[in-house]
Amino acid sequence: MNWTRGRTIGVGSSATVSLARFCDSGEIFAVKSASLAHSHSLQVEQELLSTLSCAQLVSYKGCNISTENGNVLYNLCLEYAPAGTLSDEVRRQGGSFSESTMRSYTRQILLGMEYLHANGIVHCDIKGRNILMTDEGAKLADFGCARRVNGDHGSYTISGTPLYLAPEAARGEQQGFPADVWALGCTIIEMATGQAPWPTLSDPVSGLYRIGFSVDVPEIPSSLSKQGMEFVSKCLRRDPLERWSASELLKHPFLLGEEEPCCWNSPTTVLDYDLWDLEKFDDMEWEQSTCSNSARERIRRLSEEKADTASLSGGMLSWACDGDWVTVRSNKEVDTLPQNVDQDYEDEATNTDSSASSIGLGLGTDNGSFRRDMKCGSLKASNSKCRENMYCVNSNFHNEEFWFFVHDIHPYLMMTICL
């Protein structure tokens, strides 16, 4: 395995991380190096990673021993994550993630945890700095504290980061799968607040005592949704037997609801044409309607590019079968003149001294409804592809300000133009 070492990208308590490149393939990877005499944690990590294969775990590339500048080094070659750690990403995002981002990363972390636990391995040090950000998403890394769990709870050293330790681990009793779940809850708090859990604890000794022997749990951020807060509470049960397992948490509604439910609202204006894009409607489940003139068919007919002019001008589509429609504004008072009238109403409209109604958007002086003194006629546009138009001019406007409500039937749109 021939490779060359590049610049240092990280320094830990027991190892240094550098960029490296394979001479044959040119692939970039990360190499963790420590003196051979102090490389026990790296060798533990190598022994575990060499037997694992999971998309949510940092991938193992190999290991070797080298002599550099007179020092004998043990080198562990791993996948390179150019985006850094989850903690780095939280800082880049301003100190907190949106809930949808938290949900996505939490699911990825849990998938890695579930795989480890199914293989009898406890990570023992889950936190933001031990989760790497790659092109494939978040991946668990740094298995220096990890260990295999046997059926018994024999003596072993409790390891990990104090503020992320579960109560039973802080008491020195055990550090099994539930301890990883507790650490996950603490990591979600880090994603939500940009801070480690227990932000008020500064002294490690008193901190471990509070974690291990009080009845307290880390404060769950109020910014989380109700489901999010409930999810974190399942992780932060002080009794390890009451904590949910990784497999159970993956089925929690908080993780199952990443995609927002599809909700089709009425357009806020008739220009919201995107809401009428029928290609988006094709994948929806439609309820059977007792009305032969169904909503879907009406929308399709309204958006046809080659709408039949005669059928539309002869009679509007019937919406009467939908009994829950509410009248917002009625145009019953409009005296629409025949469309063949060819008159110029500009002088009459511009000679008025009355002001437009701000409440009614200039449609009248009373309550925004159309008035009988409005004039209607045909609008001729030389550059328009419209076959037929109708406009209404409100004579209550000042000077040369006009609102034209153009009824364009190709396609069926209402457009508001201010000149």
Three-state SS string across the chain, please?
CCEEEEEEEEECCCCEEEEEEECCCCCEEEEEEEEHHHCHHHHHHHHHHCCCCCCCECCEEEEEEEEECCEEEEEEEECCCCCCEHHHHHHHCCCCCCHHHHHHHHHHHHHHHHHHHHCCEECCCCCHHHEEEECCEEEECCCCCCEECCCCCCCCCCCCCHHHCCHHHHCCCCCCHHHHHHHHHHHHHHHHHCCCCCCCCCCHHHHHHHHHHCCCCCCCCCCCCHHHHHHHHHHCCCCHHHCCCHHHHCCCHHHHCCCCCCCCCCCCCCCCHHHHCHHHHCCCCCCCCCCCCCHHHHHHHHHCCCCCHHHHHHCCCCCCCCCCCCCCCCCCCCCCCCCCCCCCCHHHHHCCCCCCCCCCCCCCCCCCCCCCCCEEECCCCCCCCCCCCCEEECCCCCCCCCEEEEEEECCEEEEEEEC
88 among known catalytic residues? no
Catalytic site residue from 24, 125, 203, 322: 125
The residues annotated as belonging to the active site are: 125
